Amino acid sequence: MSAVVQAASTPVRFIDDRITLSNWARGNLRKVFPGHWSFLLGEIALYSFILLLLSGTFLTLFFKPSLAAVVYEGSYVPLRGVEMSEAYASTLHISFEVRGGLLMRQVHHWSALLFIAAMTVHMFRVFFTGAFRRPREINWMIGGVLLLLGLGAGFTGYSLPDDLLSGTGLRIIEGIVLSIPVVGTYLAFMIFGGEYPGEDIIARLFIAHVLLIPGIILALITVHVMLVWFQKHTQFPGPGRTNDNVEGAPLMPTFAAKGAGLTFVVFGVVLLMSAFIQINPVWLWGPYDPSQVSAGTQPDWYIGWLDGMLRIMPAWEPVIFGYTLSLNVLIPAVVMPGLLTTLLIAYPWIERFAVGNDGQEHHLLDRPRDVPVRTGIGVAAILFYGMLWLSGGNDFIATIFQIPVNTITWFMRIGIFVIPAIGFVIAKRWAIGLQKRDLDTVLHGRETGIIRMTPDGEFYEVHEPVSEHEAYALLARPDPVVLPEPSAVDENGVANPKARKHRLQAKLSRFYLGDVPRRPTAEELEHARAHAVEASSARAGELPSSH
C-alpha cells in the first residue's frame, strides 16, 4: 500500500463505511476514455465555464446591478462629474480601483467568448463524425440547449455594465420584442418595467445572468457529462476497435492527469490573453444614453449572425386590418432563430428518418468523408451561419474593402442561399473523392514516389501495399444501404398504407447514400492485390519481357 493511500485511508474509510463508496469506485476509477484531440473540444467548453463561474463570482463582489443615477467621482479623469448609472460606475470602479478587477473582467469576457466558441466547434465534431446517432440523441439535444443558453448568458452579461455599446444592444432587444404580434408592446413594458429603458432592466438581467441561466447550464452540463460517462465515449473505427468495446486510457491516472492538465492550460491561456489583449474597454464608450450611439457598433461574435440577419432582411412590414406586422424584425430575430435551432436539435431524427432506422447503437464514429451528404449539409450550415455572421459586419467590410454597404447587403441576401448550396456540392464531392482515394490506396497500395526503370526501358512508380492495420482502418466503415422502393401493395394485394412515407424515405436515402462508393468485394480486393504482385514481379523479373 503506497504512502498516499495510507495517508488518505482514514477519511476515505469514514466515507466508504457510510455510503459504500467502494462499490461505485471499483471499476469506475479505471474507466477507459478514448483519446483523440477532437474529443477535448467539449472539455475546453467545460473548463472555460468553470473559469466563468470563478471570475464571475469575483465580479459580483463589486458590481452594483442598479440603474440609479450617480455622479462619477472615481479615478478615471475623463468621466469625472458625469452622471451615470451605478452599474456603469461600479464597472469603472472594478476596472480602475480594484486590483485585479480589470484582469477578472477581461478573464470573464475572454472565457465567455471561448466558452461559446468551444461549444460550437465541439458541436461540429459531434455532427461531422455522426456521434449524435443512437444512443446519443439526448446529449445532442442537451448540447443544443446549452449552446442557446450560452448565447443568453453572453447577451445578459454584456448588457450589465450599462455602457453606450451594451445599451444599444438592449435598444435592439426592445425593438425585437415590440415586433412580436399582439403581445409585443405589453411584453416590452413588462421586461423593462415600464417604458424603455426604465430603471429595472439591469437588476432583472443580473439575476438571470448570475443565477437562472448559469444554474440551468450547470444542471444540464451535469446531465451531459453523466450521460457521456454512462453511455461511454464513442471512438473512431480501426484495428481492434469495435462497436462493442472502448479503447483508451484509464481515468486514474492518465485521463485524470490530462483532464486536470487541460483545465489549467485553458485557465492559463485565458489569463495570458487577458493580460495582453484588451477587451471591451467600457470606459471608452461612456455611459448609456438612448439618444447616442457610436458608429460601427458590433455585438460579441456569437450574436453577430442574429444582427446580420436583421441587417440583410428586406423591409417587409405589412399593415393588416390596421395592425402592424414587422416582418422585417420578426422573421430575422424571432422566427428564423427558432426555426434554425429546431432544425439543429431535430437533426438526429431527420437523418434517421432519411437513412432508415437500423435499430442499432452506434458507438463507432463516421469519418466525415464516410457520409458525404451529411458532411455537405454541415458545410452548408456553417457557410450559411458564416454568411449571416459576415452580414453582421457589413459596415466593417464596406469600410475595409471600400465596397458600398448596399452592394454587400444585396450580395448577402442572395449569397446566403447560393453559397451554402455551392459549398454542399463541393464538400460532398470532396468527401467522395477522399473515399475513392482510400479505396485506391487499399487496392493498389501507396504511391512511394520511387520511379523504377525496367531493363527494357519502361518507367513505373513503385506502389507499396499498405499494412494490414491500415487497410482495415481504411475499410472499417459500413457499406451504404439505400432503402428500397416500397411496393404499393403487399403480396395479398392490400394497399400499403405507408407507401407514401416509404417512397419519401427511399428518395431521401438515395440522396444521402446513393453516391457513396461501395467498398470493394473480396474478389476485387484479391484481384487487385494479385495484379500488383504480378506486375511488380514481372517488372523485377530476371528476364526482360518479350516485345
Site for another protein in 310-329 (CB under 8 A): 310-317, 319, 322-326, 328-329
Number of residues that bind another protein (CB under 8 A): 144
Q: Judged by CB under 8 A, which stretch of 144-152, 218-226, 343-351, 474-482 contacts another protein?
A: 474-482
189 part of the interface to another protein, by CB under 8 A: yes
Q: Which of residues 278-317 bind another protein (CB under 8 A)?
A: 289-297, 307, 310-317
Q: Judged by CB under 8 A, which stretch of 118-126, 145-153, 246-254, 447-455 contacts another protein?
A: 246-254
Are 234 and 129 contacting, i.e. CB atoms less than 8 angstroms apart?
yes
Q: Compute the distance between CA of residue 143 and CA of residue 146 in angstroms, rounded to an integer.
A: 5
CB of 313 to another protein, least distance (A): 5
- Rank residues 198 and 337 by Cβ distance to another protein and give the closer one: 198
Q: Compute the distance between CA of residue 236 and CA of residue 131 in angstroms, rounded to an integer.
A: 10
492 part of the interface to another protein, by CB under 8 A: no
502 part of the interface to another protein, by CB under 8 A: yes
245 part of the interface to another protein, by CB under 8 A: yes
Selected binder of another protein within 437, 498, 527, 531 (CB under 8 A):
498
Q: Which of residues 30-69 bind another protein (CB under 8 A)?
A: 30-32, 67-69
Amino acid at 147: L
Cis ω before 253 (30° cut-off from 0) = yes
- How is residue 196 annotated by DSSP? T
Selected binder of another protein within 266, 377, 380, 508 (CB under 8 A):
266
Are 92 and 79 contacting, i.e. CB atoms less than 8 angstroms apart?
yes
174 part of the interface to another protein, by CB under 8 A: yes
- Rank residues 310 and 427 by Cβ distance to another protein and give the closer one: 310
Sign of the Cα pseudo-torsion (175, 155, 59, 82, in order): negative
Q: Compute the distance between CA of residue 505 and CA of residue 377 in angstroms, rounded to an integer.
A: 17
Q: Which of residues 430-449 bind another protein (CB under 8 A)?
A: none
Selected binder of another protein within 197, 214, 348, 420 (CB under 8 A):
197
96 part of the interface to another protein, by CB under 8 A: yes
Cα angle 435-436-439, degrees, rounded to a multiple of 5: 90
Q: Judged by CB under 8 A, which stretch of 336-344, 366-374, 424-432, 469-477 contacts another protein?
A: 469-477
Q: Compute the distance between CA of residue 118 and CA of residue 262 in angstroms, rounded to an integer.
A: 13
Burial 289-315, CB ≥16 within 10 A → b, else e: eeeeeeeeeebbebbbbbbbbbbbbee
Q: Is 85 exposed, middle or buried (0-12, 13-18, 19+ CB in 10 A)?
A: buried
459 part of the interface to another protein, by CB under 8 A: no
Q: Compute the distance between CA of residue 295 and CA of residue 285 in angstroms, rounded to an integer.
A: 11
- Rank residues 290 and 338 by Cβ distance to another protein and give the closer one: 290
Q: Which of residues 373-412 bind another protein (CB under 8 A)?
A: 394-395, 405-406, 409
CB of 60 to another protein, least distance (A): 19
Q: Compute the distance between CA of residue 140 and CA of residue 133 in angstroms, rounded to an integer.
A: 9
C-alpha cell of residue 42: 467539449
Q: Compute the distance between CA of residue 339 and CA of residue 331 in angstroms, rounded to an integer.
A: 10
CB of 18 to another protein, least distance (A): 28
C-alpha cell of residue 102: 480589470
Q: Which of residues 323-362 bind another protein (CB under 8 A)?
A: 323-326, 328-329, 332, 356-361
178 part of the interface to another protein, by CB under 8 A: yes
What ranges in 360-404 are assigned the alpha helix state H? 372-391, 394-401
Question: How many C-beta neighbours within 10 Å does residue 332 have?
Answer: 24
CB of 448 to another protein, least distance (A): 21
Selected binder of another protein within 208, 246, 336, 397 (CB under 8 A):
246
226 part of the interface to another protein, by CB under 8 A: no
469 part of the interface to another protein, by CB under 8 A: yes
Are 140 and 126 contacting, i.e. CB atoms less than 8 angstroms apart?
yes
